[in-house]
């Protein structure tokens, strides 16, 4: 019997070799495409994570600034409120001095008390006198009940309160926006982790599964980012 392979066996071996070579080439091409997809995903994640971190920092700073402004406005409002209370107390003391002189029939002391009234209070006082409170039972109880009675510090306090409320609302909104950007950064970090470890798996299905999950999270994070306002100037 002759040694070696017959022509038929040689042909069969060559066919098997070509088949394995073609399969290896297909797998190599498939792995190459997976590597390209991984590289693209990692690039997108790197850019988006940098943007998200920057936006979170900017909104965090904006929140701190607005909350500090609200605190400052609250302090100014409290100071103005105290000044308004002092002014109201002095107005009441001036009116009591005048009323005491009026009930005693001391015209000189009446005039002296009226002259020492605060200019802004004197306007309300004269308007109150014009209602003839001594004979008119429907007259307001005192100058403080007249529409002309205005305490500037009280108006200032109200303005500061409004400023503080608006600044606090803006600061809270900015803080919430910063938190949302941080949340999206966490999603992007998860994508980075999944895609980064996918290349270490020899099982193609596991690698592909990690890429799909990472890509899905990336799409979700992008949708969230598109719904958020851009970084403040």
pLDDT for 133-165, tens place per residue?
989 999 999 999 999 999 999 999 999 999 999
Position 121 scores a pLDDT of: 94
What distances in angstroms separate CA 3 from CA 6, 8, 10, 14, 124, one per listed residue?
A: 9, 14, 13, 19, 130
Lowest mean pLDDT among 8-17, 27-36, 47-56, 182-191: 8-17
The phi-psi region of residue 203 (left if phi > 0; otherwise alpha if psi is between -120 and 50; otherwise beta) is beta
Query: Which residues, at least 6 apart from 68, have a Cβ–Cβ distance to it below 8 Å?
Result: none
Average pLDDT, rounded, for the chain: 86
The kind and range of the H/E element at 56 are helix 7-104
Greater confidence (68 vs 27) lies with 68
Average pLDDT, integer, range 14-19 = 54
Q: Are 206 and 34 in contact (CB under 8 A)?
A: no
pTM for the structure as a whole: 0.70
Angle separating helix axes 107-115 and 7-104, nearest 10 degrees: 160
Quote the CA–CA distance of 147 and 91 in Å, as a whole number: 15
Mean predicted confidence (pLDDT) in 54-83: 96
* Domain edges within the chain: 42-226
211: confidence class by pLDDT, cuts 50, 70, 90: confident
pLDDT at 91 over 70: yes
Res 63: pLDDT:
96
pLDDT of residue 14: 52
The pLDDT value recorded for residue 28 is: 57
Q: Read off the pLDDT band of 21 (50, 70, 90).
A: very low
Q: Give me the mean pLDDT over the 192-205 stretch.
A: 78
Question: What is the mean pLDDT of the segment spanning 61-84?
Answer: 96
Neighbours of 113 (CB within 10 A): 21
Average pLDDT over residues 34-63: 91
Proportion of the chain above pLDDT 70, given as a percent: 85
Sign of CA pseudo-dihedral 208, 210, 213, 218 = negative
pLDDT tops 60 at residue 186: yes
The CA–CA distances, whole Å, from 105 to 18, 102, 130 equal 128, 5, 19
Tell me, what's the pLDDT at 204? 73
Question: What whole-number distance in Å separates Cα of residue 169 and Cα of residue 82?
Answer: 25
Is pLDDT at 30 greater than 70 in this prediction? no
Token readout for 131 is: 């209602």
Output the pLDDT for position 5: 46
pLDDT tens by residue, 116-137: 999 999 999 999 999 999 899 9
Count of residues for the chain? 233
């Amino acid at each position: 019997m002759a040694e070696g392979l017959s022509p038929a066996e040689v042909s069969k071996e060559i066919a098997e070799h070509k088949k394995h070579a073609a399969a290896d080439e297909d797998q190599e091409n498939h792995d190459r495409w997976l590597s390209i997809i991984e590289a693209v995903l990692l690039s997108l994640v790197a850019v988006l994570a940098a943007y998200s971190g920057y936006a979170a920092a900017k909104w965090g700073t904006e929140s701190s600034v607005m909350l500090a402004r609200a605190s400052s406005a609250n302090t100014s409002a409290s100071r103005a409120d105290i000044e308004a209370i002092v002014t109201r107390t002095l107005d009441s003391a001036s009116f009591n001095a005048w009323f005491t002189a009026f009930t005693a029939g001391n015209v000189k002391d009446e005039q002296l008390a009226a002259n020492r009234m605060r200019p802004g209070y004197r306007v309300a006082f004269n308007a109150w006198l014009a209602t003839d409170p001594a004979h008119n039972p429907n007259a307001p109880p005192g100058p403080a009940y007249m529409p002309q009675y205005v305490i500037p510090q009280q108006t200032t306090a109200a303005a500061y309160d409004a400023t503080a409320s608006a600044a606090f609302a803006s600061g809270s909104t900015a803080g919430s926006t910063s938190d949302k950007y941080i949340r999206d950064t966490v999603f992007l970090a998860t994508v980075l982790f999944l895609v980064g470890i996918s290349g270490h798996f020899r099982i193609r299905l596991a690698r592909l599964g990690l890429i799909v999950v990472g890509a899905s999270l990336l799409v979700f994070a992008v949708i969230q980012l598109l719904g958020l306002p851009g970084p403040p100037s």
